[in-house]
Amino acid sequence: MPGYSSINLSCGDVCPEADTVQAALCLLCLPAQKHTHHTTIDLDFCRVAPQMPGSSGTAQSMKKTIGHRGVETTTGETTYKKTTSSALKGAIQLGITHTVGSLSQKAERDVLMQDFVVVESIFFPSEGSNLTPAHHYSDFRFKTYAPIAFRYFRELFGIRPDDYLYSLCNEPLIELSNPGASGSLFYVSSDDEFIIKTVQHKEAEFLQKLLPGYFMNINQNKRTLLPKFYGLYCVQAGGKNIRIVVMNNLLPRIIPMHLKYDLKGSTYKRRASPKEREKAVPIYKDLDFIQDLPDGLLLEADNYNALCKTIQRDCLLLQSFKIMDYSLLMGIHNMDQASRERERGVSNSGDSAGSEGAVTPDQRRPQAQKSLYCTAMESIQGEARGKGALDSEDHMGGIPARNNKGERLLIYIGIIDILQSYRFIKKLEHSWKALVHDGDTVSVHRPGFYAERFQQFMCNTVFKKIPRKYACAGVFQYAKGNAHEEEKKQPHEEAFHLYLHTNIQSY
């Protein structure tokens, strides 16, 4: 029939045992003409579980997996590579305590090229040793990658060794519900400063190769939305390697997020699943954003320009390393909605960290000693620190914005999932998808095109600029003083709606 793909089943192209290389070779079996949406075969082979020879392809055999992440059937506890989450958290804290302590005994010096490839290892027997304490977990080995280099990164971002230890090791780590389909485990420190994520071997390997370029980039430009990498470690337990990376926490749990988005600039299958929508605060995607916020998020001109410049600079760096398939993670705190909820006695409508609830701010350290450039606002206007431009009491680290209703928003953003290189596997995946869909809409694309499409979507669709004359009229003056007072709020609303009645689409 016209418009349908003809697949020869005898060639092995859809054989249950066909791997991705075989699947790519089977592109020769497809007609040369461009296929339409009538094609019925699911070519998303990267997410289909392998089947045994002769299997019938039942729903069970096609069930999606969650990588190495599982759940103990008896206790219900999360496991990763058959290691329980509690044991993994304990091993991480013991290992980091030891490695940071031993690193403090080494003299400060400049970072050398060989520092990026150094790997230190220490064995933790359960009965303890002359170097390690006794513990109630199984024996494990802890590896630290590039300790000198990561110490430099932490210092550059204003994180002192004792603060790093206090945040990660003083209180139990909090496990977060997995927001994606990668099967990774996520932990957050009790003071909300750091995120710990398990990564695959290839991702850890790629980060190691990326370190010299990352070092060069953050020395040249500290204003970045890229992840702040603070440490790369490996726990060897039960014959398995569990690699973890420590990063900055983009979405603070102390601030309820009323909306969350994972944006790529793609429209192919970029809508939150029904299962995701059942969550208290789902993570929506590109098509959801276009539907929910067709007018985008409205920013003051200076913030808009700084944000788009930062995105452009970050994308250029990612493109130079042939990195693609990254996302912009965005949390939106609606200040007006939060005010209404407080009046109704609703203490925590958002659930930005699963079911753990909000935490109280860490008062042990002065704010000035917290990690530098760790918030969204600081990431785009880092050098303004100390000049009066940044006031945490005004915006709590978020970027002030408005929606098309005139409601006051705080936006928390960062670029995530940058450890994906456009290698052979991604080229194959794009070739498959481009056969049956518009190649410009799929998220897996060549790095140059991906970066350009990402920038265009963020700066033309997601974020839009309020002309300075309307900002000066009072649209964004709510960040100063008590914006909840009606006599101060009313002129701002009038100025905002005056702008809305002009041609918003031109921006």
Structural tokens at position 77: 């506890």
Return the pLDDT at 482: 40
Return the pLDDT at 362: 44
Return the pLDDT at 444: 53
Domain map (residue ranges) of the chain: 1-65, 70-248, 259-465
- Distance from C-alpha of 411 to C-alpha of 397, rounded to nearest angstrom: 9
Return the pLDDT at 89: 92
Long-range contact pairs involving 386-395 (C-beta distance under 8 Å, separation at least 24): 391/479, 392/367, 394/479, 394/480, 395/479
For residue 480, give the 3-state DSSP assignment.
coil
Structural tokens at position 31: 């007609």
Return the pLDDT at 341: 84
In the predicted model, residues of the chain with pLDDT beneath 50 are 1-65, 348-373, 383-393, 424-425, 430, 432, 435-437, 442-443, 473-474, 477-491, 498-499, 501-507
Return the pLDDT at 1: 46
CATH number for the region 259-465 comes to 3.30.810.10
Return the pLDDT at 76: 76
Which conformational region is residue 54 in: left (phi greater than 0), alpha (psi within -120 to 50 degrees), or beta? left
Closest CA to 499 of 461, 459, 466, 472: 466
Q: What angle do CA 118, 121, 127 make, to 5 degrees?
A: 170
- Distance from C-alpha of 413 to C-alpha of 328, rounded to nearest angstrom: 7
Return the pLDDT at 172: 92
Structural tokens at position 387: 């000049």
**pTM of model > 0.85:** no
Q: What's the burial of 205, exposed, middle or buried (CB within 10 Å: 0-12/13-18/19+)?
A: middle
Q: 330 φ, ψ to 5°? A: -135, 130
| CB atoms inside a 10 Å sphere around CB 44 | 10
Structural tokens at position 242: 């569990």
Return the pLDDT at 69: 76
Return the pLDDT at 78: 83
CATH number for the region 70-248 comes to 3.30.800.10
